[in-house]
Amino acid sequence: MGTVLLVSVIKFLIFVLSILTTAIILVYLERRISAFIQNRLGPNRVGPFGLLQPVADVVKLLLKEDIVPRNAYKAIHDLAPIISISVALSTFAVVPIGDTIELFGYTTKLMIADVNVGIMYILAMTSMGVYGITLAGWSSNNKYSLLGGLRSSAQMISYELSMGLAVIGVLMIAGTLRLDRIVLHQTTYLGGWLPAWNIFLQPVGFITFVTAAFAETNRLPFDLPEAEPELVGGYHTEYTGLKFGLFFLSEYANMVTASAVITTLFLGGWHLPYAESLGLSPFAVSILQVLTFLAKVAVVLLFFIVIRWTLPRFRYDQLMDIGWKFMLPIAIANLLATGVVLLLLNS
């Protein structure tokens, strides 16, 4: 019992620290890549290639004064960023970054919590994240913040549905709610050569899920809750210093988590095609799996960033139109088609 607890704590620390580090690196990458896309140089002053820029940013945020507006609801104003960041971090708990690893004669699964309803947990936690944003918008007592918060909640409701329906397609194929089993199910081969990743089995579901994930993480083209030109920053207008930093961090942590979930559900998780035939030792296989997983997540993250600098923001009515009139029917149709195909295959 003691060992299990110790291992869990160690895994937890490693996961949380690496997510936070990744989030900070992402801020740098985002600024640098956006600069390159716009034919600029981007941050290149602090340290070699500006690599220490995120450190400078964090120090700056830490040293800033914490301002709470006079008419704000202080308790909730303080609570909102905490909700945001804790939800962003805890969603990662059920994502498997590898199969199992054997260290010092102790075998453990490469995920923090081996929950048997992993997907339900993810869906539940991501919808919790909206509380942070909505409460931040409401408690600031500022009309722009409130509008940001309201938009956020409306957006979450619209996109959660299609997200859930896209996930059900995956569940029907895998026949389980456990994320590690879903990944294992993707390690087989279709017709002997194509890896049975869900992106090939569920292309429509993949597109729906990715779009919904963009909306859930408030990334462009769906960043209406913070739309700078209209809402002067939206829900975090009235936040300064560390509390603003927490919102900022949770946005990027959410991105990391969303990429990890996309990788797990649709891109075969830690599965590296044809790696089984290399005949490596179990430990080397575990390391290879983790590296594969990280590489896939990195690719999805880069996709997130490049999309941000490619697409313009949707108008609010367009956002609702896409959510309810396109995504939802497509997701339902995809579900129906999956069901029919599965029935025909099984009979």
Residue 346 makes contact with other proteins by CB under 8 A: no
Output the smallest distance, CB 39 to other proteins, in A: 5
CB of 156 to other proteins, least distance (A): 21
| Residue environment code for 255-287, b if the CB has 16+ CB neighbours within 10 A, otherwise e | bbbbbbbbbbbbbbbbbbeebeeeeeeeeebbe
Out of 7, 20, 37, 120, which residue is the one contacting other proteins (CB under 8 A)? 37
**Is-contact 85 126, C-beta < 8 A?**
no
Residue 39 near other proteins by CB under 8 A = yes
Number of residues that bind other proteins (CB under 8 A): 14
Question: In terms of Cα–Cα distance, which of 284, 275, 174, 159 is closest to 213?
Answer: 159
Nearest approach in angstroms of CB 41 to other proteins is 5
Q: Which is nearer to other proteins, 52 or 275 (CB)?
A: 52
Q: Closest by alpha carbon to 27, among 3, 57, 5, 48?
A: 57
**Residue 307 engages other proteins in binding (rule: CB under 8 A):** yes
Question: Which residue among 36, 106, 189, 283 contacts other proteins (CB under 8 A)?
Answer: 36
| Region from 61-69, 237-245, 257-265, 307-315 binding other proteins, contact rule CB under 8 A | 307-315
Give dist(CA 237, CA 223) in Å, integer: 14
Based on the shown chain and the rule CB under 8 A, indicate whether residue 333 belongs to the binding site for other proteins: no
Q: Rounded to the nearest whole angstrom, what is the least distance from the CB of residue 147 to other proteins in the complex?
A: 26
Interaction of residue 311 with other proteins, rule CB under 8 A = yes
Smallest distance from the beta carbon of 306 to other proteins, in angstroms?
A: 6
Contact status: 21 vs other proteins (CB under 8 A):
no
49 binds other proteins per the rule CB under 8 A: no
Among 4, 41, 287, 341, binds other proteins (CB under 8 A): 41
Q: How far is the CB of 311 from other proteins (least distance, A)?
A: 6
Q: 229 preceded by cis ω (within 30°)?
A: no
User: Binding other proteins by CB under 8 A: which of 49, 310, 325, 336?
Assistant: 310
Q: In this chain, which of 309, 313, 316, 342 binds other proteins, going by CB under 8 A?
A: 309
207 binds other proteins (CB under 8 A): yes
CB of 185 to other proteins, least distance (A): 26
Q: In the complex, what is the shortest distance from the CB of residue 35 to other proteins, in angstroms, rounded to a whole number?
A: 8
Q: How far is the CB of 157 from other proteins (least distance, A)?
A: 22
One residue of 298, 306, 332, 342 binding other proteins per CB under 8 A: 306
For the chain, the three-class secondary structure string (H helix, E strand, C coil) is CHHHHHHHHHHHHHHHHHHHHHHHHHHHHHHHHHHHHCCCCCCCCCCHHHCCHHHHHHHHHHHCCCCCCCCCCHHHHHHHHHHHHHHHHHHHHHCCCCCEEEECCEEEECCCCCCCCHHHHHHHHHHHHHHHHHHHHHHCCCHHHHHHHHHHHHHHHHHHHHHHHHHHHHHHHHCCCCHHHHHHHCCCEECCCEECCHHHHCHHHHHHHHHHHHHHCCCCCCCHHHCHHHHCCHHHCCCCHHHHHHHHHHHHHHHHHHHHHHHHHHCCCCCCCCHHHHCCCHHHHHHHHHHHHHHHHHHHHHHHHHHHCCCCCCCHHHHHHHHHHHHHHHHHHHHHHHHHHHHHHHC
Site stretch for other proteins (CB under 8 A), options 32-40, 90-98, 150-158, 283-291? 32-40
Nearer to other proteins, 208 or 250 (CB): 208
Residue from 8, 18, 44, 141 that binds other proteins (CB under 8 A)?
A: 44
Residues in touch with other proteins (CB under 8 A): 33, 36-41, 44, 207, 306-307, 309-311
